[in-house]
């Protein structure tokens, strides 16, 4: 269980990637404009992978004696200790202030993993969704599967529909579910490879809760693009992402039952892909209304830093040294 000094140095060595200057220059212009003086400190964390905080989400279906005490010895503590509107007792996540990475577990057919390593901020969309036992849930863009796994740590849905359009990522999703969910429960999980933009028409008003963790310009990975030409192309195509995100949200709203809730999330700082998309939906869809998530944000303010000035139905986690990292944008809507 213990991460030796040799392992730590090997891990650190792997993170000495080259920053893609084309992407950094683009971000400098955009995020200086959108984030102002906070961009410089955010940039310092984004460009230093060794600062990133990896959380450990325990798998309630694979109890491991001694795991929690081992985490404690290595400086990890339970996350989400504040007063939260929704925090199921079975949901256990550990974080620590000092950077580092707990050893990953390899996929082994027929054997459940004991924990999932992730960006703790990526759990906020799941907590905002507030899934209850017996509800029908759609994870519209589910790969690699971390949020689907987290949903099942919270509740036993009536059905959990995990969709991923991309073929390779869909196989990754299936492997993740196989690694974390025991056989009897897998019967509750359906994996599909549908175009998310069409699911609303194919399955209208079928779900109580929908998570749209949309394809986005992933700021962290883009900064370390090895291929400069591919990075430049991504930046050109970036302008088209907000249109795709809007279409996915429209589809998700159609798939929701009246009274159902939807959470939209991305792992980018980009205003065009975050609040602009949500504002467009609120202005064009008369049957949805924003849902206040400020109490959740207040409850996790010890773990995360948030951009100030956002609306009550949204939050944006800003990467900050010594805090659980982002970026992660979360917004919640309800269908009337």
Catalytic one among 93, 154, 162, 267? 267
What does the pLDDT read at residue 40? 96
6 annotated as belonging to a binding site for a ligand: no
**SS3 category, 280:** helix
State the average pLDDT for the chain.
Answer: 93
* Integer Cα distance of 8 and 4 in angstroms: 6
pLDDT at 188 over 60: yes
- Residue 108: predicted pLDDT: 85
Q: What burial letters (b/e) apply to 210-242, b meaning 16+ CB within 10 Å? A: bbbbbbbbebbebbbbeeeeebeebbeebeebb
- For residue 69 the two structure tokens come to 């005490």
Q: Which of 319, 317, 318, 315 is nearest to 330 (CA)?
A: 315
Query: How big, in percent rounded to 5, are the helix, strand and coil portions of the chain?
Result: 40, 20, 40
Quote the percentage of the chain above a pLDDT of 90: 85
Per-residue pLDDT of 221-255, as tens digits, reads 999 999 999 999 999 999 999 999 999 999 999 99
Evaluate whether 149 touches 126 at the Cβ level (below 8 Å).
no
Q: Which residue has the higher pLDDT, 153 or 110?
A: 153
* Residue 44, marked binder: no
Q: What is the DSSP string of 171-237?
A: HHHHHHHHHHS-HHHHTTEEEE---TTTHHHHSTT-EEEEEEE-----HHHHTT-S-HHHHHHHHHH
Query: What pLDDT, on the 0 to 100 scale, is given for residue 116?
Result: 96
pLDDT confidence of residue 12: 45
Residue (of 153, 273, 259, 262) closest to 199 by Cα position: 262
For the chain, give the percent of residues with pLDDT over 70.
95
The annotation status of 155 as a binding-site residue, yes or no, is no
Q: Among the listed ranges 13-27, 110-124, 262-276, 322-336, which one has the minimum average pLDDT value?
A: 13-27
Residue 7 has pLDDT above 50, yes or no: no
| pLDDT band at 305; cut points 50, 70, 90 | very high
Tokens representing 269 are: 């700082």
pLDDT of the residue at 1: 39
142 is in an annotated binding site: yes
pLDDT over threshold 60, residue 62: yes
Question: Is 332 assigned a ligand-binding role in the annotation?
Answer: no
Q: Output the pLDDT for position 51.
A: 83
Residue 164 known to bind ligand: yes
Label residue 168 exposed, middle or buried (CB < 10 Å: 0-12, 13-18, 19+): exposed
CA dihedral 103→109→114→115, nearest 10 degrees, is 60
267 is catalytic: yes
Report the distance separating Cα 7 and Cα 291, nearest Å. Answer: 44
Question: pLDDT-derived band of residue 16, with 50, 70 and 90 as boundaries?
Answer: low
pLDDT at 308 over 90: yes
Q: Is 252 annotated as contributing to ligand binding? A: no
pLDDT score of 150 more than 90: yes
Please give the pLDDT value at position 53: 78
204 is in an annotated binding site: no
- Please name which of 294, 290, 293, 321 lies closest in space to residue 305, comparing C-alpha atoms: 321
Confidence of residue 335 (pLDDT cuts 50, 70, 90): very high
Q: How confident is the model at residue 322 (pLDDT cuts 50, 70, 90)?
A: confident
The residue that leads in pLDDT, 216 or 7, is: 216
Nearest to 216 by CA among 248, 238, 231, 232: 238
């Amino acid at each position: 269980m213990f991460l030796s000094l040799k392992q730590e140095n090997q891990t650190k060595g792997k993170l000495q990637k080259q920053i893609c200057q084309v992407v950094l220059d683009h971000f400098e212009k955009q995020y200086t404009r959108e984030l102002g003086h906070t961009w410089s400190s955010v940039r310092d964390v984004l460009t230093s992978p060794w600062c990133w905080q990896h959380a450990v989400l325990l798998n309630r279906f694979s109890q491991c004696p001694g795991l929690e005490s081992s985490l404690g010895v290595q400086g990890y503590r339970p996350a989400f200790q504040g007063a939260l509107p929704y925090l199921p007792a079975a949901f256990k996540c550990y974080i620590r202030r000092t950077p580092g990475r707990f050893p990953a577990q390899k996929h082994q057919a027929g054997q459940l993993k004991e924990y999932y390593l992730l960006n703790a901020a990526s759990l906020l969309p799941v907590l905002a969704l507030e899934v209850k036992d017996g509800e029908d849930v759609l994870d519209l863009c589910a790969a690699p599967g971390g949020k689907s796994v987290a949903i099942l740590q919270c509740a036993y849905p009536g059905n959990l529909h995990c969709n991923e359009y991309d073929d390779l990522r869909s196989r990754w999703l299936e492997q993740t579910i196989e690694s974390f969910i025991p056989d009897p429960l897998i019967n509750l999980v359906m994996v599909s490879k549908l175009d998310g933009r069409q699911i609303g028409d194919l399955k209208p008003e079928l779900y109580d809760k929908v998570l749209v963790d949309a394809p986005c310009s992933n700021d962290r990975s883009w900064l370390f693009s090895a291929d400069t030409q591919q990075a430049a192309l991504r930046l050109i195509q970036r302008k088209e992402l907000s249109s795709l995100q809007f279409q996915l949200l429209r589809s998700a709203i159609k798939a929701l039952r009246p009274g159902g809730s939807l959470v939209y999330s991305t792992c980018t700082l980009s205003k065009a892909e975050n609040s602009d998309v949500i504002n467009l939906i609120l202005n064009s869809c008369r049957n949805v209304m924003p849902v206040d998530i400020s109490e959740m944000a207040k409850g996790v303010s010890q773990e995360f830093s948030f951009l100030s000035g956002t609306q009550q139905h949204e939050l944006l986690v800003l990467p900050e040294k010594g805090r659980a990292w982002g970026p992660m944008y979360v917004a919640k809507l309800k269908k009337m």
